[in-house]
């Protein structure tokens, strides 16, 4: 007798499935959270995440920028966009004037999040989903989701390339703490955020799990997953831009190198330039589901700001926790 294949639970109504997932009650920072495929997510986000898993169709040449929030996402989006689109939009020369040609570059008018959409947000509206389908290849996309939540269309085929950026968790968590507290009127209990600093978690999910999810795949599929580190990008921006270009199959030619195209990209996406632009656009349209002002993505852009906020004891305990969790994986922040 032929066996009937088991129904895929995600084919059922999202709401019914979500209601069965383990949950945590709301906190002052977060609405109700649900455990899904090994990670905690605000319940409200799950329909879009599930729709993304079900409906996204990867195409040859798609490049996905992946990260945990506050690890350099905005910067990497800018660098990857400027690199991939340099044929259509040459980066303005470092010493270039402020003429119309130089102002034509999208990154001088738009926040990088507007140039590279978050897939999990795209699937929250039919309009955004249709826009994504109509986007010509090659597409530059992004996600904050862990590898375990990505659709099979990305993980089981070799069509997509993923560039993952990670950052020393102490700096990432302090950056997040500032981001949450930037709007004093929200009156979010900072003790809740401090709990996540102490536990080294993001919305209840371990930070090391997110990093190791991508890291482990990069070891077996190096042509599909490239790991970058915020600290290394700060120290060697040129080298990292060259790495990005090679990884996406658009290496810089000798004539481009001679014309200082790499330097121009680095300058266009430098913290100082992007912060100044973000400040000048602060009052204009908000980005990422119209939620965040342009300037909220640029604060200090430094390595090691955690020393101003985290006690040496807390830092030591975080370092110990992380070295245990990364032990044997081959991953380090150096």
Ligand X SMILES: Nc1ncnc2c1ncn2[C@@H]1O[C@H](COP(=O)(O)OS(=O)(=O)O)[C@@H](OP(=O)(O)O)[C@H]1O
List residues near ligand X by CB under 6 A: 67, 69-75, 171, 175, 178, 269-271, 274, 297-301, 305
CB of 266 or CB of 322, closer to ligand X: 266
Report CA-CA distances (Å) from 222 to 147, 163, 213, 236.
15, 10, 14, 21
CB of 58 or CB of 269, closer to ligand X: 269
Told to judge if 144 belongs to the known catalytic residues of this protein, a careful annotator would answer: yes
Q: Given the residues 144, 178, 210, 309, select the one marked as catalytic.
A: 144
CB of 158 or CB of 236, closer to ligand X: 236
Q: How far is Cα 84 from Cα 140, in angstroms, rounded to an integer?
A: 8
CB of 255 or CB of 308, closer to ligand X: 308
- Least distance to ligand X, CB of residue 229, Å: 12
CB of 178 or CB of 198, closer to ligand X: 178
- Least distance to ligand X, CB of residue 198, Å: 19
Q: How far is Cα 257 from Cα 271, in angstroms, rounded to an integer?
A: 22
Run of H or E residues at 143: strand 140-143
- Least distance to ligand X, CB of residue 328, Å: 28
- Least distance to ligand X, CB of residue 57, Å: 25
Are 169 and 200 a contacting pair, CB within 8 Å?
yes
Buried b (16+ CB within 10 A) or exposed e, 217-241: bbeeeeebbbbbbbbbbbeebeebb
Report helix, strand or coil for 317.
helix
Buried b (16+ CB within 10 A) or exposed e, 80-111: bbbbbbbeebbbbeeeeeeeeeeeebebeebb
Task: Look up tokens 């530059």; give the residue.
Answer: 140
- Least distance to ligand X, CB of residue 114, Å: 12
Q: Which sequence positions are flagged as catalytic?
A: 144
């Amino acid at each position: 007798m032929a066996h009937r294949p088991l129904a895929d639970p995600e084919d059922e109504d999202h709401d019914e499935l979500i209601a069965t997932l383990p949950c945590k009650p709301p906190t002052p920072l977060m609405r109700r959270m649900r455990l899904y495929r090994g990670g905690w997510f605000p319940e409200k986000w799950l329909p879009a995440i599930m729709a993304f898993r079900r409906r996204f169709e990867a195409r040859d040449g798609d490049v996905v920028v992946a990260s945990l929030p506050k690890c350099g996402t905005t910067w990497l989006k800018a660098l990857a966009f400027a690199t991939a689109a340099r044929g259509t939009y040459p980066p303005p020369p470092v010493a270039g004037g402020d003429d119309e040609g130089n102002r034509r570059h999208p990154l001088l008018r738009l926040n990088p999040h507007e140039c590279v959409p978050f897939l999990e947000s795209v699937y929250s509206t039919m309009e955004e989903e249709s826009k994504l389908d109509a986007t010509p290849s090659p597409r530059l996309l992004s996600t904050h989701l862990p590898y375990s939540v990505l659709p099979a269309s990305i993980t089981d085929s070799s069509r997509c390339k993923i560039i993952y950026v990670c950052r020393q968790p102490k700096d990432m968590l302090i950056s997040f703490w500032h981001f949450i507290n930037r709007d004093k009127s929200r009156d979010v209990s900072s003790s809740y955020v401090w709990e996540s600093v102490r536990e080294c978690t993001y919305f209840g999910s371990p930070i090391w799990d997110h990093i190791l999810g991508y890291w482990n795949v990069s070891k077996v599929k190096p042509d599909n997953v490239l790991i970058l580190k915020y600290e290394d990008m700060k120290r060697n921006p040129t080298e990292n831009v060259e790495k990005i270009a090679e990884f996406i199959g658009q290496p810089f030619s000798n004539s481009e190198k001679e014309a200082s195209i790499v330097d121009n990209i680095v300058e266009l996406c430098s913290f100082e330039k992007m912060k100044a632009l973000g400040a000048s656009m602060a009052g204009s349209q908000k980005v990422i589901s119209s939620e965040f002002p342009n300037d909220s993505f640029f604060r200090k852009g430094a390595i090691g700001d955690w020393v101003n906020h985290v006690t040496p004891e807390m830092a030591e305990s975080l370092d110990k926790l992380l070295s245990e969790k990364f032990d044997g994986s081959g991953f380090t922040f150096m």
